[in-house]
Amino acid sequence: MEIIEKIDELREIVKKWRLEGKTVGLVPTMGYLHEGHKSLIVRAVAENDKVVVSDFVNPMQFGPTEDLATYPRDLDHDAKLVEDAGADLIFHPEPSEMYLDDFSSYVDMNTLTKGLCGKTRPIHFRGVCTVLAKLFNIVTPDKAYFGQKDAQQLAVVKHMVSDLNFGLEIVGCPIIREEDGLAKSSRNTYLSPEERKAGLVLSRSLKHGKEAIEAGEKDATKVIGLITDEINKEPLAKIDYVEIVTWPDLKEVSTIEGSVLCAMAVYIGKTRLIDNFIID
């Protein structure tokens, strides 16, 4: 398993793989890898001859008051996990390798990025789309793998790939949870033991909402009410949003029918956590 920092070097390696007729999978990450990432890598390894894991904390997708400086990083740990999962290569560029001083081209989207996380993170998806467009151009993968925990990101990336005719398949993979239900996230490491317990309110309240829908509740406002009531019982929790939208178009719904995404972002102390479920 190699760690490559330079775009040209990576391109040469991929070129060689292509000449050998190999298929290539990409797992884009910001590092500090956990079991959720590992599940994506394992799936990519099963479905492709060669797998690249990008490990890049993308400055462009962080707002000025967000956690870019403190975002956890541990390349040695990541390298071990990637090797164990069977991938071939980590792409770990410096920000200056990805964004030259005169960088001035962006990929943005009018729909899908304005609601949910886009409301409080207005520049986030522009940064995500731009870095992914670059990674897709550099790696030219056949398939790229994304977790459903960032459901809005998954919908946005699929739409971008279709809009801009990137010739690859986007594969969405299930949320991986801790045994007690907390969705795995690199940001869980920010939580104190007390906050870690409080963080369970996300999966617990979503479970209530899902059960209500499964029992026949079709009124989105009522389901959201059930969920927010549960979250508000937790003193350390502060709701950013709880919403039910169509999946994958992310349009607001009042009556629950067809495929819907129920998504939330909740601050536990200073840490913003997200979680969701999709129901048909």
Catalytic residue numbers, as ranges: 37
Interface with ligand PAF, residue 29, by CB under 6 A: yes
CB of 176 to ligand PAF, least distance (A): 13
Tell me the site size for ligand PAF, rule CB under 6 A: 10
Choose between 188 and 230: whose C-beta lies nearer to ligand PAF: 188
Stretch that binds ligand PAF, among 22-30, 171-179, 190-198, 232-240 (CB under 6 A): 22-30
Q: Which is nearer to ligand PAF, 153 or 188 (CB)?
A: 153
Answer for which of 150, 195, 234, 275 binds ligand PAF (CB under 6 A) is 150
Residue 58 in the binding site for ligand PAF (CB under 6 A): yes
Helix axes 151-163, 124-139, angle to 10 degrees: 60
* 214, HSE (Cβ side, Cα atoms, 13 Å): 9
Place of tokens 């040695």: 76
DSSP-derived secondary structure for 70-98? T----HHHHHHHHHHHT-SEEE---HHHH
* CA atoms lying within 13 Å on the CB side of residue 203: 16
Q: Position 7: which residue type?
A: I
Residue 45: partners with Cβ closer than 8 Å, 6 or more residues away:
25, 51, 85, 86, 87
Residue 55, classified by CB atoms within 10 Å of its CB into exposed (0-12), middle (13-18) or buried (19+), is buried
CB of 206 to ligand PAF, least distance (A): 20
CA gap 63, 73 in Å, rounded: 18
Shortest Cβ distance from residue 150 to ligand PAF (Å)? 5
Residue 39 lies near ligand PAF (rule: CB under 6 A): no
Q: Does 61 bind ligand PAF (CB under 6 A)?
A: yes
Query: How many C-beta neighbours within 10 Å does residue 216 have?
Result: 7
Residues 90-149 that bind ligand PAF (CB under 6 A): 128, 131-132
We find the least distance from the C-beta atom of residue 82 to ligand PAF, in angstroms, to be 14
Cα 198 to Cα 177: distance, rounded to the nearest angstrom: 15
In the range 238-277, which residues lie near ligand PAF by CB under 6 A?
Answer: none
150 vs 234, beta carbon nearer ligand PAF: 150
Interface residue with ligand PAF, options 30, 116, 227, 278 (CB under 6 A) = 30
Q: In terms of CB distance, is 63 or 258 closer to ligand PAF?
A: 63
> Does 175 contact ligand PAF by CB under 6 A?
no
**Integer angstrom CA distances of residue 6 from 3, 33, 155:** 10, 21, 29
Which member of 28, 118, 141, 209 binds ligand PAF (CB under 6 A)?
Answer: 28
H or E element that contains 153: helix 151-163
- Positions touching ligand PAF (CB under 6 A) are 28-30, 58, 61, 128, 131-132, 150, 153
